[in-house]
Structure 1
Amino acid sequence: MSLTTAAAGTAPVRTPAAKPAVAPAEARRHELAAFLRSRRERIAPEQVGLPLTGRRRTPGLRREEVAQLAAVGVTWYTWLEQGRDIQVSTQVLDAVARALLLDPSERAHLFTLAGADDPAPVVECPTLTPSVRLVLEQMSPYPAAVVNARYDVLAYNAQFTAIVGDLAELPFEDRNLMWLAFTPSRFGEVLVDRESERVPMVARFRSAMADHSAEPAWKTLLCRLRKASPDFEAAWQRHDVQRPGNGLKRFLVPGVGLLRCDYTSFWLGPRQGSRLVAYTPRDEESRALMGRLPSQL
């Protein structure tokens, strides 16, 4: 509490003290702690060769079992999972990753959250250069867009708007594929496999957020999604992480038909940075239907 100056003859007015901002390192440690707990709780003892020793009060491995498997001290591992400010070597992170049976995406996420130095850092390049915009225009008649790691749509061609709707009519903060997938939108309506597509989207979003957990734009989007969508909140609580990649998407576009598209990411910077995403037809029927998409914004 703090005191403010009051008028003569009146008592001082007490106002609540401002809450200190969460430092980036502290936010990352908290995320690391939650991630480690979620990975530990999903592993059955028999998966790592440990005998069953009676009834367990919590699912998965115990902290001391992870410490044993990783050949580290129980106290040290407990502090790590509590989000304490301790020094972590790459050798120990490697041992913990192996003990928790982390896949490549999860392992990369662990190292990022722990603040381990990248042995081969990549310098990010500007995203929307004139050359990138020219390539985007030349993707016609195929839908294409430039999307950053937060799923913000930074630029797009006319064919892309036929799928997601007119982004120019939306507030800037709503021009985000995560937001459009988890709230009522044209994108959500035309995405045929919406339910199965959204969980891996959240896993990729969480993986990318490891580098940005204390940044206001990321925290604001996360807060909006968690409040707006119980489905997003459920997927977020899984603590799944996944590397971005390519795949198949199907769109049922009104007035056009069913488009079966291979989407391919062309990276414009770091692995989880901005990318140009192109949607190309998987079959001749989809190729013909794409010719019916608008060619002008």
Structure 2
Amino acid sequence: MPTDEDRRGELGAFLRSVRERVVRAEFGLPPAGRGRTVGLRREEVSYLSGVSVTWYTWLEQGRDINPSRQVLDAVGRTLRLGVAEHRYVLNLAGFAPLPAPPSHEVATVPSHLQRFLDAIGDNPAYALTAEWGIAGWNDAYERLYPNVATTAPNERNLLWAVFTDPAVRALLADWELTSQRFLAEFRAEIGSRLGDPVLADLVARLSDVSPAFRAGWQRHSIEGFESRERLFHHPEFGTVRYEHHQLRPSDQPEFQIVVYTPLAD
């Protein structure tokens, strides 16, 4: 198990490695001593980041200090860290990565994730945003829940569908149990972001239109996700049983992919 000293040492070594290999011309800086075109001085990183040179030097030396997230973000921007690199720095310093900021715009999955959903084939699959907006789905999921393709984008939200669409209520064999389980999982996921405008608006609108949501929200139930059996009463296919799975793409962790795989009777 790595110690705090190990993590501080790795953080310092990583920052030093990045600093020493960046191209000076990309920062509008002339070559350094002996015509060196690669690598920034610590003083230059300090100046560009707005961080004291002593503080930055201590970071690279792995000193027992407690850098703020703002300092690490500033250094990360200066060194032009990628998403994975920035996340690595935050984790080493004991911070969780910042969630994606909420947006009133309707998100759609990137093309490579849509291809992944399509490749899942006959197993219903869809992608959720951090606010549980349905951002993509495959043909199998549309066959299971046709309304997903015709619902207005700003209402294409899993919780909204579960608590307001009569077709979903008829589709779910155990609607009372499943709807409250979803609500408890949703609350567990977004607990630290309850003040976000998009989430506050969703909760307010659902509380207005759904007594079941309002009562469940007031219970403050919390549950983590677990794969489980799901039973659907489909008007065309009859009763179908699936196992419910969830995963997050490493390169797009703001989305969660939900897949239903069939269970034999």
TM tier relative to shorter chain: 0.5 to 0.7
Structure 1 gaps of 5+ residues are: 1-117, 286-297
Structure 1: distance between partners of 2:98 and 2:217: 29
Pick from 84, 96, 109: which aligns with 1:121? 96
Structure 2: distance between partners of 1:236 and 1:166: 25
TM-score, normalising length: structure 1: 0.51
The 5 A counterparts of 1:213-232 are 213-232=194-213
Structure 1, residues 69-124: CA drift from partner, whole Å, max 9, x if none?
A: xxxxxxxxxxxxxxxxxxxxxxxxxxxxxxxxxxxxxxxxxxxxxxxxx9352477
Structure 2: distance between partners of 1:269 and 1:210: 22
Letter in 1 for 2:245: T
Instruction: Return the structure number with greater relative CO, CA threshold 8 A, min gap 6.
Output: 1
Deviation at 1:140, TM superposition (A): 0.9
Structure 1, residues 5-34: CA drift from partner, whole Å, max 9, x if none?
A: xxxxxxxxxxxxxxxxxxxxxxxxxxxxxx
The 5 A counterparts of 1:131-280 are 131-268=112-249, 273-280=254-261
Q: How many residues align?
A: 168
Structure 1, residues 33-67: CA drift from partner, whole Å, max 9, x if none?
A: xxxxxxxxxxxxxxxxxxxxxxxxxxxxxxxxxxx
Deviation at 1:211, TM superposition (A): 2.8
In the alignment, is the contact (CA less than 8 A) between 1:124 and 1:269 conserved in 2? Answer: no
Structure 2: distance between partners of 1:217 and 1:228: 17
| Superposition RMSD in Å | 2.8
Q: Residues 195 and 232 (structure 1 numbering): CA distance in 2 closer, same or farther, change over 3 Å?
A: same
Deviation at 1:143, TM superposition (A): 0.6
Greater share of residues in helix: 2
SS in 2 for 1:166: helix
SS in 1 for 2:199: helix
TM-score, normalising length: structure 2: 0.57
Structure 2: distance between partners of 1:121 and 1:160: 33
Structure 2: distance between partners of 1:135 and 1:123: 26
Structure 2: distance between partners of 1:159 and 1:185: 20
SS in 2 for 1:132: helix
Question: Equivalent residue for 2:82?
Answer: none
In the alignment, is the contact (CA less than 8 A) between 2:108 and 2:135 conserved in 1? Answer: no
